[in-house]
């Protein structure tokens, strides 16, 4: 009964997230910039004006200029500010031939999705973003030339967050894997058994995996930010301090999972190897670790899964500023922190947050399936 309630609550949450977020899930979301790009365009010569028909599938609330073959609509940007959005540009429209104001050789046609900021027509009449779409269309219809057109793309892409997350995980694994695996090997294969100190160490490692990640985040802020600031030109949070924080966070996971993997290696292998005159080190590195590789693989996946969903530990250590161009010594936001950032603004962006949430969940799901597959292979092998 209670589990049914649990499942239903979960299904509701998932349903909500998928419902809100799935609309934005496009390739452009994954590769796009978060911050809008401004286009400064002009149309020096005009030809083939007029005679455009309003397409049938154009939104009811949109306004259409027959002269320019342009569809406009009142919209709000992700911050809730009113904008005039281009939603249709006819394939034959002269607007397709607009040029980059800064480089008149370059043709940059107006395209759907851009929001009009400012349009200066040939007689220097000006239309601004607060001008309603209806009035803009009237302006377009009464002018035959455009001197200057400022438009911004919608932004909201998460490429920067994906790159940040990838770099963080990569660096963190590079630090945590060798340390974690060698610690586990020492603790399980070399450390004296029945030793109080070693025993306490292992207890502590087990406890560490339960420490809330915000505590690691504080440690990152207190230790790793000053440390990385000293050895690089970073000021404040940066990707290196974030990676170090994550590395410390997943270390107990890697150690515990690797110890489990080593424990699963049959003692017969160790005995057989020693009986062949191999010494302890040879036995450990040539036989035991080799046999434990699939188990260590799932330790890696487990920690990647933990890191990709991590936000609290990174808020201080890497910061929350969403960046499109990632610089290692500067702040940026990972995927999970990205959710926090877009929700923390004055106007929370539910749709975008939910889209990112879906992406994170899909990756975690994929990793879990991968762990299962690795584990199954492991079970089949010996």
Partner 1 sequence: MNTFDVRELVLTYDGKAALQHVSMNIIPKQVTALIGPSGCGKSSLLRCLNRMNDLIDGCNVEGEILFHGENIYAKNYNVYELRTKVGMVFQKPSPFPMSIFDNVAYGPRCQGINDKKTLENIVKKALVDAALYDEVKERLKESAMALSGGQQQRLSIARTIAMQPEVILMDEPTSALDPIATGKIEELIFDLKKHYTIVIVTHNMQQAARISDYTAFFLMGNLVEFNTTEQIFRQPTQAKTEEYITGRFG
**Least separation, in Å, of the C-beta of 273 and partner 1?**
7
Measured from the CB atom, the residue of 65 and 258 that comes closer to partner 1 is 258
- Beta carbon of residue 295, minimum distance to partner 1 (angstroms, whole number): 12
Look at residues 168, 106, 111 and name the one whose alpha carbon lies nearest to residue 338: 168
Instruction: Specify the pairing of strand 82-89 against strand 70-76.
Output: antiparallel
Nearer residue to partner 1 within complex by CB, 45 or 279: 279
Binding interface with partner 1 (CB under 8 A):
193-194, 266, 268-279, 282, 286-287, 290-291, 381-382
- Please say which residue, 56 or 194, places its beta carbon nearer to partner 1: 194
Q: CB of 282: closest distance to partner 1 in angstroms? A: 5
Nearer to partner 1, 1 or 275 (CB): 275
CB of 194 to partner 1, least distance (A): 8
Choice between 44 and 266, CB closer to partner 1 = 266
What minimum distance in Å lies between the beta carbon of 271 and partner 1?
7
- Choose between 290 and 372: whose C-beta lies nearer to partner 1: 290
Rounded to the nearest whole angstrom, what is the least distance from the CB of residue 283 to partner 1 in the complex?
8
Q: Which is nearer to partner 1, 231 or 380 (CB)?
A: 380
Smallest distance, partner 1 to C-beta of residue 203, A: 20
């Amino acid at each position: 009964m209670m589990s049914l309630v649990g499942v239903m609550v979960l299904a509701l949450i998932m349903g909500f997230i998928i419902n809100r977020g799935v609309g934005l899930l496009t390739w452009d979301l994954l590769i796009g910039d978060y911050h809008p790009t401004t286009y400064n365009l002009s149309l020096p010569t005009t030809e083939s004006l007029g005679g455009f028909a309003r397409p049938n599938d154009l939104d009811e609330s949109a306004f259409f200029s027959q002269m320019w073959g342009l569809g406009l609509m009142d919209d709000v940007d992700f911050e809730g500010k009113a904008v005039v959005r281009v939603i249709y540009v006819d394939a034959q429209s002269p607007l397709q031939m607009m040029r980059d104001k800064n480089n008149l050789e370059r043709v940059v046609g107006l395209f759907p999705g851009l929001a009009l900021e400012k349009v200066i027509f040939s007689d220097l009449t000006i239309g601004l973003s607060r001008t309603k779409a209806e009035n803009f269309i009237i302006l377009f219809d009464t002018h035959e030339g455009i001197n200057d057109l400022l438009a911004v793309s919608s932004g909201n892409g998460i490429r920067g967050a994906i790159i940040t997350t990838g770099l963080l995980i990569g660096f963190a694994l590079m630090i945590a894997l060798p340390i974690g695996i060698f610690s586990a090997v020492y603790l399980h294969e070399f450390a004296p058994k029945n030793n109080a100190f070693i025993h306490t160490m292992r207890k502590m490692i087990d406890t560490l995996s339960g420490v809330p990640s915000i505590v690691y985040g504080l440690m990152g802020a207190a230790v790793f930010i000053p440390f990385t600031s000293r050895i690089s030109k970073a000021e404040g949070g940066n990707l290196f301090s974030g990676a170090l924080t994550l590395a410390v966070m997943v270390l107990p996971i890697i150690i515990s999972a690797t110890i489990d993997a080593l424990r699963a290696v049959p003692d017969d292998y160790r005995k057989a190897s020693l009986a062949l005159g191999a010494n302890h080190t040879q036995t450990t590195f040539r036989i035991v670790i080799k046999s434990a590789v699939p188990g260590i693989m799932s330790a890696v996946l487990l920690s990647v899964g933990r890191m990709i969903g991590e936000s609290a530990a990174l808020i201080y250590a890497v910061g929350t500023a969403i960046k499109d161009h990632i610089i290692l010594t500067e702040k940026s936001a990972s995927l999970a922190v990205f959710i926090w950032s877009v929700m923390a603004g004055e106007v929370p962006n539910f749709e975008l947050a939910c889209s990112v949430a879906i992406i994170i969940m899909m990756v975690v799901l994929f990793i879990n399936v991968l762990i299962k597959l690795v584990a199954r292979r492991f079970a089949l092998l010996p």
